[in-house]
Amino acid sequence: MKNSKTSIPKASKMEKRLTEFLEMIAGLWQFQWQFFKQIFVPPYEIEQIRKHMDELGIKTLPIVSVTGFIIGLVITMQMHPVMVRFGAEAFLPGSVGISIVRELGPVITALIFAGRVSSGIGAELGSMRVTEQIDAMEVSGVNPFKYLVVTRIFACTFILPILTVYVIFIAFIGSFIAVVLVQNMSYIYYLDSVIASVEFGDAIPGILKTFVFGFIVGIVGSYKGYTATNGTEGVGKAATTAVVVSSLMILIFDMVLVKVTLWLWPTI
Amino acid sequence: MNIVVDIKNVSKAFGSHVVLDNVSLKVEEGENMVVFGQSGTGKSVLLKCMVRLLEPDSGEIYIEDTNVLNLSPKELNNVRKHLGFLFQGAALYDSMSVRENLEFPLIRHFNFTPKEREDKIKSVLEKVSLEEAIEKMPSELSGGMKKRIGLARSIITEPKLMLYDEPTTGLDPITSKEISSLILELQKSLKMTSVVVTHDLLCAEIIADRAIVLNNGIVQHEGTITELTTSSDPFLRNFFSHEIVEDQNRRN
């Protein structure tokens, strides 16, 4: 009897969570559909897109700079003893470079971006929703989805690849400093080694997938904020869940995109 | 007199909870119509249905002979351009200064020169007596100032129809009276038609030409404020006795 009593609320709780999850997937799908429908309809809000790109880039620049530098430095320091063990010290700059360009640079930047930007968009739009600012915009004859959502998604999609290229560059600086510290290598040898190992084909899939990651950050943050309910509590929830969902989706899509890339171009 | 708003048999339910049940209402040109009712009786829902922020389940809503429920999004936006809506919390755009808030509808819908825009902004700020707030952000304004700026933003496009959702809620009696007088003054000078949802008897006394009382989703009573407040109907006596006590408390 006791078991059956406790299992009912658990089941209903799980059912509720599952329903919420499925509703979110359906909502995200509709949101994405609406985005693609409205993106080609004027006005194109170029000024808003430029403004958001500026803001998002500047907002994220300090944290991605520090992260990129530390990642490059730490990965190199961690890999050095391993490479020494295999007698492959000379390959250290190349192997670190490939890791950064192919995976670490894009994914770490996307995760930092998700943490910083997705929550920001969720909180900003959520607060606009619960204080009726979105309704006010709609009543004034302006399409709020176009003005607030499409512009943010667009800005996220195009600013993240630029930030990723920058982070990769900063990570190389960190890596170079580590190599100098642990191996006393000249910068010419370091550069030669990186250029010889990292090919153009390594960079392209890594950079291309950041367009998808940027889109995920924009759409999840906007969806969570735009559909926020229940006052300030709802705004907080929108900001938090935006980070969790977008980070998780970035990792899942990364896995899928790596598989697809290797399937399409096995020699890469 | 022309009928500016004609609501015919509008119903709206949220799940099994019926909020509006076959509500009909006519508002004449230049009239100030006040909508009374207890909390949760659907006053704000009715207002939001009029501009299709909420979609009614059935019925027809005509604004100047156009059934807004049959309009495409583009046509609806064209109708909305000529409406003003003052939200309960003023709904000023947080990220924009007062000037940008006021400029927003002008830039989006009209081809004014910067000089003409500036003149219009200064003129509406003068009407609400807040010329000095032009460069302030909404977070720097008091509740009453926000309401005034919200009002200025709503009238900057010179709408023919103004909708007010609880314009004096959360304000002290003096500010509440000032806002009510301002609404009346603007309505007269701009020759607007207004629909005002409120709980505030003082506000209604100042601005209402006619009022309705919503109860259980239907228009239960209609008349002037004097007719309603002096009615012998038990519901109205009960409703207004509470309002009068509350109003007297606020005045004291």
pLDDT digits (tens, 9 = 90+) for B31-84: 999 998 888 888 999 999 999 999 999 999 999 889 999 999 889 988 898 899
Q: What pLDDT shows up at residue A2?
A: 46
Q: How far apart are CA B43 and CA B213, in angstroms?
A: 9
pLDDT digits (tens, 9 = 90+) for A208-251: 999 999 999 999 999 999 999 888 888 999 999 999 999 999 99
A132–B81 CB contact, under 8 Å: no
pLDDT digits (tens, 9 = 90+) for B222-247: 899 888 888 888 888 888 776 666 66
Could you say which residues from 134 to 163 on chain A have a Cβ atom under 8 Å away from some Cβ of chain B? 135-143
Write the DSSP symbol of residue B53: S
Contact B164, B183 (CB under 8 A): yes
Tell whether B170 is within 8 A of chain A (Cβ).
Answer: no
Smallest CA-to-CA distance from B79 within B157, B143, B165, B190 is with: B157
pLDDT top residue among B129 and A69: A69
> CB A23: neighbour CB atoms within 10 A?
11
B77–A141 CB contact, under 8 Å: yes
What is the nearest CA distance from A131 to chain B, expressed in angstroms?
6
Mean model confidence pLDDT for chain A: 89
Tell whether B107 is within 8 A of chain A (Cβ).
Answer: no
B105–A140 CB contact, under 8 Å: yes
Q: What are phi and psi of B34, to 5 degrees?
A: -105, 135
Q: How many residues does chain B have?
A: 252
Residues 6+ apart with CB under 8 A from A155: A49, A52, A53, A56, A218
Q: What pLDDT shows up at residue A8?
A: 58
Smallest CA-to-CA distance from B29 within B50, B1, B8, B51 is with: B1
pLDDT digits (tens, 9 = 90+) for B201-222: 888 889 989 999 998 888 888 8
Q: What pLDDT shows up at residue A9?
A: 67
pLDDT top residue among B242 and B120: B120
B23 SS3 class: strand
pLDDT (mean) for A166-170 = 94
Q: Which two tokens stand for residue B129?
A: 């007596």
Q: What pLDDT shows up at residue A1?
A: 43
Tell whether A61 is within 8 A of chain B (Cβ).
Answer: no
Q: How far apart are CA B66 and CA B83, in angstroms?
A: 13
A42 SS3 class: coil
B104–A143 CB contact, under 8 Å: no
A139–B80 CB contact, under 8 Å: yes
Q: How far apart are CA B179 and CA B187, in angstroms?
A: 12
> CB B234: neighbour CB atoms within 10 A?
8
Tell whether A42 is within 8 A of chain B (Cβ).
Answer: no
Q: What pLDDT shows up at residue A183?
A: 75
Q: What share of chain A in percent tops pLDDT 70?
A: 95
Give the least confident one: A71-75, B21-25, B32-36, B178-182: B178-182
pTM (predicted TM-score)? 0.85
Interface mutation vs chain A, best among B51, B63, B72, B87, most A CBs within 10 Å: B87
Q: What pLDDT shows up at residue B252?
A: 58
Burial (CB count within 10 angstroms: exposed 0-12, middle 13-18, buried 19+), residue A226: buried
Contact A72, A173 (CB under 8 A): yes
Could you say which residues from 215 to 234 on chain B have a Cβ atom under 8 Å away from some Cβ of chain A? none
A138 chain-B contacts, CB cut-off 8 A: 53, 80
B104–A128 CB contact, under 8 Å: no
Q: Residue A131 is nearest to which of B51, B77, B89, comparing CB atoms? A: B89
Give residue A41's pLDDT band: very low, low, confident or very high (50, 70, 90).
confident
Q: How far apart are CA B87 and CA A152, in angstroms?
A: 26
A136–B93 CB contact, under 8 Å: yes
A141–B85 CB contact, under 8 Å: no
Could you say which residues from 55 to 74 on chain B have a Cβ atom under 8 Å away from some Cβ of chain A? 73
Q: What pLDDT shows up at residue B163?
A: 94
What is the nearest CA distance from A141 to chain B, expressed in angstroms?
4
Give residue B87's pLDDT band: very low, low, confident or very high (50, 70, 90).
very high
Q: Residue A133 is nearest to which of B93, B105, B108, comparing CB atoms? A: B93
Q: What pLDDT shows up at residue A268?
A: 63
A141–B94 CB contact, under 8 Å: no
Measure Cα distances from B162 to A46, A187, B6, B38, B193 in Å.
Answer: 32, 70, 15, 22, 6
Query: How many Cβ pairs closer than 8 A exist between chain A and B?
Result: 51
Query: Looking at the predicted structure, is the pLDDT value of residue A4 above 60?
Result: no
pLDDT digits (tens, 9 = 90+) for A179-198: 888 777 777 888 888 888 88
pLDDT (mean) for B111-117 = 90
pLDDT digits (tens, 9 = 90+) for B29-40: 989 999 988 888
Query: Looking at the predicted structure, is the pLDDT value of residue A76 above 70?
Result: yes
What is the nearest CA distance from B225 to chain A, expressed in angstroms?
29
Q: List, edge to edge, every strand of the sheet that includes B66-67.
A: B17-28, B3-14, B58-63, B66-67
Query: Looking at the predicted structure, is the pLDDT value of residue A18 above 60?
Result: yes
